[in-house]
A and B are shown apart, each in its own frame.
Chain A
Amino acid sequence: MKKTAYLETAKGNRPQGKESPAPAPAEFKLIGQPTPRVDGKLVVTGRATYTHDIFFKDMLYAKILRSPHASTEVVSIDLSAVQSLPGVKAVLKLKDGRVKYEGEQVAAVAAVSERTAEEAIKLIRVEYRTLPHVVTPDKAMADGAPRVHDSANVEKINEYTRGNIDQGFAEAEVTFERTYRTAIEIHHPVETHASVAKWDEDELTVWDSTQAIFNVRDGLAEALGIPETKVRVIKMYMGGGFGSKLDVNEHTIVAARLAQETGRPVKITLSRKENSLCVGNRPSTQITIKGGAKKDGTLTALSLKNFTCGGLDRGDESSEPLIDVYKCPNVKVEEFTVFTNTGAGRATRAPGHVQGTFALEGFMEELAVELGLDPLEFRRKNYTASNQGGTGIVYSSKGLDKCYDIGAQKIGWARRNKKPGDGQGKKKSGLGMASQIWWGGGVPGTLADIKLHRDGSVEAISGTQDIGCGTRTYMATVAAETLGLEPQDITVKIGDTVYPWAPISGGSLTAPSVGPAVRDAALKAAEYLKGLAAKKLSVPAEDVVLADKKLFDKNKPENSIAFKDLVKEMRRQAVFHGERGPLPAGFAYNTFGAHFAEVEVDTETGRISVLKVVAVHEVGRVLNRLTAESQVVGGVTQGISTALFEERVLDENAGKMVNPNLQNYKIATSMDMPEIVPLFVDLVDPRINNLGNKGLGEPPRIPSSAAVANAVYNAVGVHLREIPMTPDKVLKALQGKEAGS
């Protein structure tokens, strides 16, 4: 989906309503406990069905021929050789005219085996007329650069001001300007993108590796010109997305068309190379921050200028952390995107915030040192209880100060080098930290059903997706908690567009959207059951309690009826519709966190080892401590990976990616892992929804790259300002420091 639409959804705090949701209880029995996943057995036995694992009788395999050139024109496509290849059942021409990036689809085949399809696309003869290309932002911004689109290569995508920036700098006693750079990352979910399309008369069913079944359904309906009612999209299990699977993909539409043409199910699985080129990336940024402060550390002005590159599409607006996190009366932001002949960027876990936080928090660290202040105290000095960008609206809840307290204590903040680079020896260690802000309020209008059956079985149903965050498990837990049952008693049904609507699984939306919707439905079911039990037990309904798989009189607990026996009294199965209510107006709903990192830098080899990360988050109520910890551990790990390893490398002359695989595109492995300590500030947001929870998908992904970079600065006394911090860059920076001193 378009990143702007994604961000609007992620912000979630629209529409706001007057109606206050049912208050969240102060305590729960099951919710918040460390609950193992309800579907764990399926996963660890290899029986969980991912899209790659779907096979149908008579299924065909599709492959796509893609442009090897970054900028070219398809003059002609000769299909004669491929059409006569035995086993090829259908061929589609997908491109005529201008091709704008390496990997753009040109033609496709469906054949009886994957190998046949692979051989078949090699027989398609394409005549290209190569055109000038530009693949790096620097070149794209230069005078006379080839135009990527019809419009200019540089386009302003965001501006923001508050206060008076000139006055803010005039009031400052110290001003400071620094530029930070982040590289383009590839999402690389371990399950490459995949779809299986199957027609039954005029109805299409697609199994898709997706974070957003409804977006895929709507996109397919639009592309094929058929009503949404004729398209069903199913996602059972999926192997990671991180933002690259938020919308219908071109290859899914191709599979649907090939299935239509052949009358047979068609499966398409992208290769690792295709996954590197064609299904998104995290846009790069070049962010210049200028800040002014009083000598006591009070910020007076912050300005940010960003040149971001998302290839064919707009890059990432990365200014939100700077606009929101710290109290600063005068702020000015200008952001520009630079177009290049490379695959379009997509939302990548915490889009804009990873890059913007790396820049902002690096800047705060450097400015603190310049002011002679403790970097953490400098941040506390500029703390705010209201959303600065949201014209000062007060946060419904904000536990960032507690994150600071807990994190500093757990990492032993006092151990840090008082002066950056003070460490002795060839291997220097240091500590650094960074703050985090994200949205995570959830989407009003999210739907879920609770279905009670006469045999005592219960379903919790929603058209959401479990992308590895434990959605099935907290749905079961919320339903069980509300109905006095155990999580194992609940059958969770998700991942199918025949179920009630739920938003994308992205943007930290799912838990604060689906959780409250299930709670709402379960509360309605509980009311109904209390009414039934009241008659059976001859007590007022308000005196009936649901607990321990029973319904009983709160004043006389032995006056009870088993849940199983009570539901037999129902005339038929009963369905209760739940909805996530509106967010109460007048408040800002955000998530907060702080990461504290300890690193060791080998000054001879330039190698950085992360030794420990303490990650503290405030996301309202935690629904499941076990899976929440995994979310944090994963976010920290990806942040380390970004800080140290990840970078899409392009050959400027050829216009091609040179590391479209997992051998040369480095991601963090077991060997790179520090000790990670995931912690939560226990608070319940008083009004956000009926559970008091916020989202946790993005938050732990945001501050760790910055915390690691700041720790490196504290260790060696030179701030790299560019990620990934590969050994060559570390050594170069150390040499520069020596030369300068």
Chain B
Amino acid sequence: MENRPKKKARTVTRRAFLQDLGGGTAGAALATRLRGQSAGQAEVSLPPALSQKNVTFKVNGRDVSLDVDPRDTLLEVLRERLKLTGAKKTCDRGECGGCTVLIDGQAVYSCLFPAVRADGKQIITVEGLAEGETLHPVQQAFIEKDGYQCGYCTPGFIMSSVALLSHTPTPSPAQIRAGLSGNLCRCGNYVKIHEAVAAASQKMRKA
């Protein structure tokens, strides 16, 4: 019961705060108009937190500059602002790896990575691996070895695999298992995924 007045007070404060800002649509405009962006994007209701921050980074070789809310994760910016929906929001707390992307070559859970920290970074998502219609050897191997079932965790697994092979080009079976241990596949296709990574490693060495 003691909590109740406190909660109420907080609500009132929030409402007053919101009303002061009169709907708060200001400050949401993007610095750069991006492909696939709808006008609806600018319709932000909650006030931006204390300050939006402009960040500039490269994603899949493309320069991007936009204002982000300090609360935005990189995953949210990729999916909702840039419409790069390959990385998935699955647990939203770093438990499953469905959101894995490469940041300066490192496999990172983008759901835990604040978008403001993307400033100056080179980001590669699953959409950026193929060159034109030519698939990356890891992508090709996932198809040939059937390294997935529903395919939802696949972009994350592919990015972790690419990161693994970049620093360990000829991984042992134990290194493959460990390298992919941060990604969950609920269909349970791990052993097929392991086969795909081994096949990709072989192919990349030959190339």
Contacts and interface: CB of A to CB of B under 8 A. Distances in A.
Interface of A: 36-37, 40-41, 43-50, 52-53, 55-59, 81, 84-88, 111-116, 119, 123, 125, 188-192, 237-240, 242, 269, 271-272, 467-469, 626-627, 629-631, 633-638, 641, 661-663, 667-671, 673, 675-676
A665 to B, nearest CB: 9
B45, B80, B93, B127: residue with the most chain A Cβ atoms closer than 10 Å: B45
B188 interface: yes
A192 B187 CA distance: 14
Given A116-B45, A239-B150, A52 B89 contact: yes
B192 A239 contact: no
A633 B186 contact: no
16 contacts: A43-B154, A44-B148, A45-B86, A50-B85, A59-B40, A85-B15, A119-B46, A189-B152, A191-B88, A239-B150, A240-B150, A240-B152, A641-B188, A668-B190, A670-B176, A671-B181
B146 A123 contact: no
A126 to B, nearest CB: 12
B61 to A, nearest CB: 15
B135 interface: yes
A670 B87 contact: no
B90 interface: yes
Interface string B29-46: 000000000111001111
A123 B11 contact: yes
Contacts of B93: 272, 661, 663
Nearest to B79: A53
- B contact patch SS: loop
A45 B192 contact: no
B91 A662 contact: yes
Contacts of B125: 46
6 residue pairs, one from A and one from B, having the closest CB atoms: A87-B45, A46-B86, A239-B152, A637-B188, A468-B150, A468-B149
B189 interface: yes
A112 B88 CA distance: 21
Nearest to B80: A55
Contact of A46 (B85, B90, B143, B191): B85
Contact of B135 (A45, A59, A239, A667): A45
A629 B127 CA distance: 28
A126 B11 CA distance: 14
B102 interface: no
Contact of B90 (A49, A53, A272): A272
Contact of A58 (B40, B184, B191): B40
Contact of B143 (A36, A56, A119): A36
Nearest to B83: A55
B63 interface: no
Nearest to A119: B46
Interface string B167-207: 00000000011101101111111111110000000000000
Contacts of A52: 85, 88-89
A57, A125, A630, A676: residue with the most chain B Cβ atoms closer than 10 Å: A630
Contact of B23 (A86, A661, A663): A86
A647 to B, nearest CB: 16
Q: How large is the interface on B (under 10, 10 to 19, 20 to 34, 35 or more residues)?
A: 35 or more
Contacts of B43: 87, 112
Contacts of B27: none
A635 B188 contact: yes
A81 B186 contact: no
B88 A190 contact: yes
A676 to B, nearest CB: 5
B128 to A, nearest CB: 9
Given A46-B126, A123-B11, 13 more contacts: A46-B86, A55-B83, A58-B38, A58-B39, A81-B15, A85-B18, A116-B45, A190-B90, A191-B88, A629-B146, A668-B188, A668-B190, A670-B183
Nearest to A123: B11
A669 B193 CA distance: 12
B151 to A, nearest CB: 4
Interface string B87-108: 1111111011010000000000
Contacts, number: 212
A641 B185 CA distance: 12
Contacts of A119: 46
A633 to B, nearest CB: 5
Nearest to B160: A670
Interface string B156-172: 00100000000000000
A86 B86 contact: no
A467 B150 contact: yes
Given A46-B127, A55-B80, A669 B181 contact: yes
A634 B149 contact: yes
A643 B92 CA distance: 27
Nearest to A111: B45
A634 B187 contact: yes
Contacts of B40: 57-59, 112
A116 B46 contact: yes
A239 B151 contact: yes
B180 A670 contact: yes
B66 to A, nearest CB: 15
B87 A240 contact: no
Contacts of B88: 50, 52, 190-191, 239
Contacts of B85: 46, 49-50, 52-53
A671 B176 CA distance: 9
A466 B63 CA distance: 36
Given A84-B15, A630-B192, A633-B191, A47 B127 contact: yes
B91 A630 contact: no
Contacts of A59: 40
A669 B194 CA distance: 12
Nearest to B19: A84
B177 A50 contact: no
B114 interface: no
B45, B153, B188: residue with the most chain A Cβ atoms closer than 10 Å: B188
B192 A629 contact: yes
A360 B186 CA distance: 26
Contact of B146 (A85, A114, A190, A627): A627
B38 A55 contact: yes
A661 B91 contact: yes
A238 B88 CA distance: 12
Given A661-B95, A669-B184, A676 B129 contact: no
Contacts of B46: 85-87, 113, 115-116, 119
Given A43-B154, A52-B85, A113 B44 contact: yes
